Amino acid sequence: MITYLEAIRAALDKALADDPRVFLYGQDIGSFGGAFKVTKNLAAKFPGRVLDAPLSEDAIVGVAIGAAIEGMRPVVEMQFADFSTCGFNQIVNHAATLFYRTEVPCPIVVRLPSGGTSGSGPFHSQSMEALYAHYPGLIVMTPGTVEDAYSMLLEAIALDDPVIFCEHKFLYNHLKAEKLPGQNLPVGKARLARHGRDATIVTYSAMVHESLAAAEELTGDGYEIEIVDLRTVKPLDTDTVLASVARTGRLLCVSEAFPWGGVSAEVVARVAAEGFGLLDAPPQRLNAKDTPVPYHPDLWTAHRPTASAIASATRRLLEM
């Protein structure tokens, strides 16, 4: 069995082995192997290509941009997605604008260990995908399976554009698969994680699994819920979402991020504008609460959508 975390390490290992332009840069990622041990043993295996960085998120991303201009394929690790705000300027104003301004692509990958885990609190739990998806020039990936964590990271490294790779910390060791995939869906294509006919849940990352559990619970009531895993939130595969809504007539969009704006709002806006006639009920959203992510496990569990909260929201949608 291979975990989500091991799949990310395997992808980094393969990219380093296959492409001399790839190098890794981030805090504690060298001989220590990173705060989550994603890069364990890679520094020894690839001398001079897995580099410890100072506590300088702005400089870490800036270094990646300069190296990318010179033809390298840097993959940087933010120790936690939350700290990427300290590198925000380089990501959104430098990396994201470079190709549009100069015609020189900026093939960097910024890995963001994202999302909540019990006890992590306000500064080690955030989901940043909407913030980065807002900016033109960035690709934002949110893999929710072991297979996607592996194949999408390889694709992120191969792409000429800057990629924000949101890997979910809760999935790191919880999620396991039999083996790594050979082929996978193309970048930007959503996946039907479950077929159904009564309602569509559009979601991504760790919320795919909460939604699958909710759908399982709802089979007891005789409902068949379809689940769309967006995989990549930007570009957003509106076609797959609309096709599902056309089958079910009902939409719930679930995200672990804060509720104001964001991916779930974007999905609902697009479905309302392009697929209004497909809807039998008002499209619904379920997000985290509009507070910082709380520390205490009981508060945290109530703050983010869980399988039971998703099942309740879906029931309400089905009764509309």
Partner 1 sequence: MLLARILEEKLASLYRAGAIHGGVFLGRGQEALSVSVGSNLRKGDIFAPLIRDQAGRMAFGDTVLDTLRTYLGSQLGSMRGRDGNIHRGRPREGYYAMISHLGAMIPAVCGALMARRMRGETGVVGATCLGDGGTSTGAFHEGLNVAAVEKLPLVLVIANNQYAYSTPSNRQFACADLIDKAAGYGVASHRVDGTDLSACLAVLGVAVRAAREGGGPQMIVGDLLRLVGHGEHDDASYIDPRLKASPLGRDCVKVAESFSIEKGWATAEEIAAWRAEAKKEVDATAAKVRREVSPDPGDEEWSAISDTRLADNFLEA
Indicate whether 289 belongs to the interface with partner 1 (CB under 8 A).
Answer: no
What is the end-to-end Cα distance of the chain in Å, rounded? 42
Binding-residue pattern over the window 156 to 185 for partner 1, x denoting contact by CB under 8 A: ---xxx------------------------
Indicate whether 74 belongs to the interface with partner 1 (CB under 8 A).
Answer: yes
Q: Which is nearer to partner 1, 88 or 223 (CB)?
A: 88
Binding-residue pattern over the window 11 to 40 for partner 1, x denoting contact by CB under 8 A: ------------x-----------------
Binding-residue pattern over the window 216 to 255 for partner 1, x denoting contact by CB under 8 A: ------------------xxx-xx----------------
CB neighbour list of residue 100: distance below 8 Å, 6 or more residues apart: 136, 137
Q: How far apart are CA 305 and CA 211, in angstroms?
A: 9
Q: How far apart are CA 88 and CA 257, in angstroms?
A: 18
Indicate whether 267 belongs to the interface with partner 1 (CB under 8 A).
Answer: no
Indicate which single residue of 35, 69, 265, 307 sits in contact with partner 1 (rule: CB under 8 A). Answer: 69
Indicate which single residue of 70, 178, 298, 319 sits in contact with partner 1 (rule: CB under 8 A). Answer: 70
Among 88-96, 195-203, 220-228, 283-291, the segment contacting partner 1 (CB under 8 A): 88-96
Indicate whether 276 belongs to the interface with partner 1 (CB under 8 A).
Answer: no
Cα→Cα distances 219→126, 196, 214, 316, Å: 32, 10, 9, 15
Q: What are residue 1's DSSP bridge partners?
A: none
Assess contact for 98 and 69: CB atoms under 8 A. Answer: yes
Dihedral sign, Cα of residue 119, residue 126, residue 6, residue 174: positive
Indicate whether 265 belongs to the interface with partner 1 (CB under 8 A).
Answer: no
Binding-residue pattern over the window 298 to 317 for partner 1, x denoting contact by CB under 8 A: --------------------
Within positions 46 to 65, which residues make up the interface with partner 1, using CB under 8 A? 48-49, 53-54, 56, 58-65
Dihedral sign, Cα of residue 136, residue 266, residue 169, residue 38: negative
Q: Is 219 helix (H, G, I), strand (E, B) or coil?
A: helix
Indicate which single residue of 68, 110, 180, 208 sits in contact with partner 1 (rule: CB under 8 A). Answer: 68
Assess contact for 29 and 37: CB atoms under 8 A. Answer: no
Amino acid at 214: A
**Count of positions (residues) in the chain:** 320
Query: HSE on the CB side for 94, CA within 13 Å?
Result: 18
Q: Can 124 be counted among the known catalytic residues?
A: yes
Q: How far apart are CA 125 and CA 168, in angstroms?
A: 10
Q: Which is nearer to partner 1, 109 or 206 (CB)?
A: 109
Contacting residues toward partner 1, per CB under 8 A: 23, 48-49, 53-54, 56, 58-72, 74, 89-90, 93-94, 96-102, 104-105, 136-137, 139, 159-161, 186-188, 234-236, 238-239, 270, 273-274
The catalytic site residues sit at 124
